[in-house]
Amino acid sequence: ETGVTQSPTHLIKTRGQQVTLRCSSQSGHNTVSWYQQALGQGPQFIFQYYREEENGRGNFPPRFSGLQFPNYSSELNVNALELDDSALYLCASSPGQGRNQPQHFGDGTRLSIL
Amino acid sequence: AQKITQTQPGMFVQEKEAVTLDCTYDTSDPSYGLFWYKQPSSGEMIFLIYQGSYDQQNATEGRYSLNFQKARKSANLVISASQLGDSAMYFCAMRDLNTGTASKLTFGTGTRLQVTL
């Protein structure tokens, strides 16, 4: 069984640029969530996708957007990058909407903004 | 709004000893789930254990057990027989089980556990 995979593992960008992060969900999982984890903090929920539709969003501005594809893989896009966007971005997948199902996380993408 | 509080920024434990990591939570939802995750320095969040708010018994998974005290709104993680590989950040998280839409996790700030010889 293949777990959650994220790419790239590390990324360096400058302020004002745009970035796309990618996530392949665990086999059989149709729900993908994205989290931002700043240094020394717990992860913060960005949004979730279920069957290619966004079905929940945290307190993040519209320049954070996403997609989910028919194979349930997902992208996180961030426009107009700011210094505070420097963080570890975690993707998590789970099977369906069963709320007692644990979310399974990837290794994350470390994004640094210069 | 849901809130998770982890008051121990760092903990030390000797190898083979047991350790308790504290977690308190606040929610107005009648139905919720509590999760513990381990995050090594590599960054991946590893699921450890789950407790539902209506579960009658405390959850156990191998060396991990959850001391769930609903009236006190606490869900402490107990690790028995600590191993050097247990050194990592540990996060407590909560999910509302009633919301019809997103099943987001709300995380605490974490506890860094260091296992010593």
Of the pLDDT bands very low, low, confident and very high (cuts 50, 70, 90), residue B67 is very high
CB A97: neighbour CB atoms within 10 A? 17
Check if B108 contacts A (Cβ < 8 Å).
yes
**What are the angstrom distances between the C-alpha of A79 and each of A43, A50, A54, A69, B33?**
20, 23, 18, 20, 34
pLDDT in tens, chain A (114 residues): 568 999 999 999 999 999 999 999 988 888 999 999 999 999 999 999 988 999 889 999 999 999 999 999 999 999 999 999 999 999 999 886 666 778 899 999 999 999
How many alpha carbons fall within 13 Å on the CB side of residue B54?
8
Binding-face residues of B in 73-92 toward A, CB within 8 A: 91
State residue B82's pLDDT score.
97
Between chain A and chain B, the number of residue pairs with CB atoms below 8 A apart is 72
The stretch B93-109 carries a mean pLDDT of 80
Contact across the interface for B104 and A56, Cβ inside 8 Å? yes
From B12's Cα to the closest Cα of chain A, the distance in A is 18
What pLDDT is stored for residue A28 in this prediction? 83
What distance separates the 2 farthest-apart alpha carbons in chain A?
A: 40
Q: In 3D, which of A111, A33, A95 has the Cα closest to residue B107? A: A33
Compare CB distances from A103 to B42, B105, B110 and report the shortest one's residue: B105
Quick check: A99 and B42 CB within 8 A? no
Contact residues on chain B for A56, CB-CB shorter than 8 A: 101-104
How high is the pLDDT of residue B101?
53
Torsion (CA) A61, A53, A9, B84 in degrees, nearest 10: 100
As to burial, measured by CB atoms within 10 angstroms (0-12 exposed, 13-18 middle, 19+ buried), residue B9 is: exposed
Name beta bridge partners: A49: A32, A54
Interface probe for A, chosen from B44, B48, B49 (most Cβ of A below 10 Å), is: B44
Beta-bridged to residue B49, according to DSSP, are: B36
